[in-house]
Structure 1
Amino acid sequence: MTGTIQNEGTFLNKIAKNLGRAPITEGISRPVWKHAPQFEVLKHATPDDLVNELQEQCKRVHTQFHLTDSKQVAHLLKQVIEELGNGQLIIPKDDRFSDYQLVDVLNEKGVHVWDHQAGKKNIELAESANIGITFSEITLAESATVVLFSSKNHGRSISFLPACHVSIIPKSTIVPRMTQAAAAIRSKVNRGEVVPSCINFITGPSNSADIEMDLVVGVHGPIKAVYIIVEDK
């Protein structure tokens, strides 16, 4: 569904008037900057370099880091779930759980799959769950940030309300930093793909140091975060 922009001309003309110039309607081009440091950070990093950088950043954001492959990921996930205390699990409706052969482990532990037809019941189940498990769409090595796309089959409550968040990270999703993540999302738009209206950038467990610079973890979201990086290339 395509939206309609209302009163665009009037709005832009008012801005131009307040700036003391005539409206610019054509000949607009993206500025070329003399320096572009956003493209230089980790510019020459290999996929293995990015994994190493991600691992170092995980230490700084209080996040457990595990590296495995597609053959061992189910065993590792089971181990992580047990270390986090088992309990109710919640996951998005995502074919990758089947592709990575994780369904049996999840069913064994007791899992709820997000169902948009269930409405608010999903949120109630997420609130009572101990662990939310997601796949990262894009992963920022520089800050140990996972990017999640919300949709009718993937409510953001999955990574927000449970006590623990486990993010499965295909190695191929790891990029240097926000610059590349933004470019990847922009390329989806340019190709005509539907981009979610809610894209979440999540860095480890929730924390805050607003009060006297005293770090408190688990203020407004998961207390524990675990990243499982899977070799997929």
Structure 2
Amino acid sequence: MTNSRERMIDRIRAGLRATRPFLETESARASHTPPPFVHPITHDDLAQQFAAELTKLQAYPHFCADDEAALEVIAGLIEQYQAQEVITWDFERINLPGLAELLRQRGVTRLDGRIAGTPEQRAALLPAHERAPVCIAGVDAAIAESATLVIHSGAGRPRMASLLAPVFIAVIHREQFVRGLGEAIERIKQTYGSVFADASALTLITGPSRTADIELTLTLGVHGPREVHAVIIG
């Protein structure tokens, strides 16, 4: 088995060596500038376009004039889903003053979404996070033409805070909207530089998680949140 595997890998390596000059030439000829958007412009206001597309995905935009209004929306959602525990980014990463105090006043326990350590330690930590009905996080960009949230995970920004709980609340500021994916990727590269190239946790979220079986029966919430709420500030 080992010899067969090595022979197969050697053939792949030989093939790559033979085709590399051609591939490098073709790559050099291609444009590496991503298009700013793909679909026709439907709104002058990117936030309105995002909200319209998000609604088509059976998700929920909430326009808030300021931070106080955003906190009121989040408080209402916490009450609606009777959340006693929530998974969140570090509060300073979400950039919503008053969120920590809101959770404290309502007696809501914050879980930081960090599952680290040995396999045994991770297995012990996970059940507590699985009980949380709501997760709250910020975003790096919000793509208007597809209502996609772009999230670069990292220190204080655990990926679990946007994927594990059934209900995801995304806090978005007006300046974070972009027209298309190309603009979003450029913004990420400008923000994180070379760190972005080595990252494996760039998450794109377009509405609730959707999964279909072989009979094409669609189910929400199997591999991610069942509901997505976008709290748009400004």
TM-score by length of 1: 0.76
Structure 2 contact 67–96 (Cα < 8 Å) conserved: no
Structure 1 contact 97–103 (Cα < 8 Å) conserved: no
CA deviation vs aligned residue, 1:85-127 (integer Å, no higher than 9, x gap): 3331111224145652211112233132417486536533321
One of 108, 112, 119 as aligned partner of 1:114: 112
Deviating above 6 A after TM superposition, structure 1's stretches of 4 or more consecutive aligned residues are 23-28, 42-46
Partner of 1:5: none
One of 89, 92, 100 as aligned partner of 1:92: 89
Give the structure with the larger helix fraction.
2
RMSD: 3.3
Unaligned 5+ runs, structure 1: 1-10
Identity %: 24
State how 1:153-168 maps to structure 2 within 5 Å.
Answer: 153-168=156-171
Partner of 2:72: 75
Partner of 2:200: 197
1:59 is displaced (CA, Å) by 1.4
One of 136, 139, 143 as aligned partner of 1:140: 143
Partner of 1:181: 184
**Inter-partner Cα distance in structure 2 for 1:114 and 1:84:** 19
1:52 aligns with 2:53: no
1:146 is displaced (CA, Å) by 1.0
Q: Counterpart amino acid of 1:31?
A: A
CA deviation vs aligned residue, 1:20-72 (integer Å, no higher than 9, x gap): x8578899735249xx99435468787x6211111111111111110102232
SS of the residue corresponding to residue 86 of structure 1 reads coil
1:213 is displaced (CA, Å) by 3.7
Unaligned 5+ runs, structure 2: 1-11
**Inter-partner Cα distance in structure 2 for 1:54 and 1:92:** 23
1:192/1:40 Cα in 2 relative to 1: closer, same or farther (>3 Å)? closer
SS of the residue corresponding to residue 62 of structure 1 reads coil
What is the aligned residue count? 215
Bigger mean CA deviation after superposition, 137-146 or 24-33 = 24-33
